[in-house]
Structure 1
Amino acid sequence: MDHNFTPDLTNVAATIKVFDKGIYEFSIGAAKPFKKDASGDKAEQFGIRYPLKVEAVHEDGEPGQVGKGKTVFTCYLHNDGGQAMAKQFVMAGYGYRVNDEGEEAFNEAVGVDGDWAVNFEDGTVGTIWKELAGKRILAELDSRVNKANPDQKFQDFSWIPMSALET
């Protein structure tokens, strides 16, 4: 790269978009592992981030218009709660409903024998994480205000497999 570089920062977003309530169809990008060391009163955090691109907006289960926008979903793996949320994302990405029956089928088909590896040093991930890239997934989105910072909103995701459109 040339030593002189002038980026055009008007073409990028400074924030992560918080979408309106609704059902969105996303395409999943490549897995990107991350690790943040503990500092001060904050515990160590680690997991995998997935860029998501809106492909469509669905209302009442009907195919909707082509959507616009991008966001990121973070699979936190440093605690049980984060792992449970990550599992919901992975299950829906592989076509399993996020319920007892879907979880049982997922565990039998993918679970224990699957390659769940994450290498934070070289940025590689196992096949379960890697093969989500390119898949499509549905999410029912809502938002809520951050209690610690009322100017900030959080996006809530409830993951739904693409097969739900067929039923």
Structure 2
Amino acid sequence: MADLLEGETGRLIAVELDAASIGRSTADVEHERNIAIYDLIEDNRFVLPGHPTGGYRLHLSIRDNRLVFDIRDEADSPLVLHLLSLTPLRKIVKDYFLICDSYYAAIRTATPSQIETIDMGRRGVHDEGSRLLMQRLAGKIIVDFETARRLFTLVCALHWKG
């Protein structure tokens, strides 16, 4: 947690998806999104440099191929708006989906060691996406690595078509 500001203990207490720009999807996709949001809220470290720490509400939307982080305080009063281009994440999300497809296919026919190898690759790509997300948020939103992993999972869930 060296990346977090000393003594800062901010955290997300709510995450909402903008229905107009993100929209609803299939039951499977909605389920994955809900799990990703639950996991993120359940355990996270989230700090806004220059803002009071505490509980934050995150409203996510998509505008012009950018993920919009509308961050609010516990009372839902606006604090800051950050736009994150999705273009740098596109390739790694695509790679992550491809390796996940390979993993699910391997579960049916591959040996345990082959499955483990694919799973290690899947985790590696997920970690890479998490580090990229941390870099893209640097200076604006500070998260620890585990929170970045959960946030990357949510970003993937937003891209998943079911």
Higher strand share: 1
Q: Which has the larger radius of gyration?
A: 1
Higher helix share: 2
TM-score over 0.5 (shorter chain) = no
TM-score by length of 2: 0.24
Flag the structure with more relative contact order, 1 or 2, with Cα contacts below 8 A and sequence separation at least 6.
2
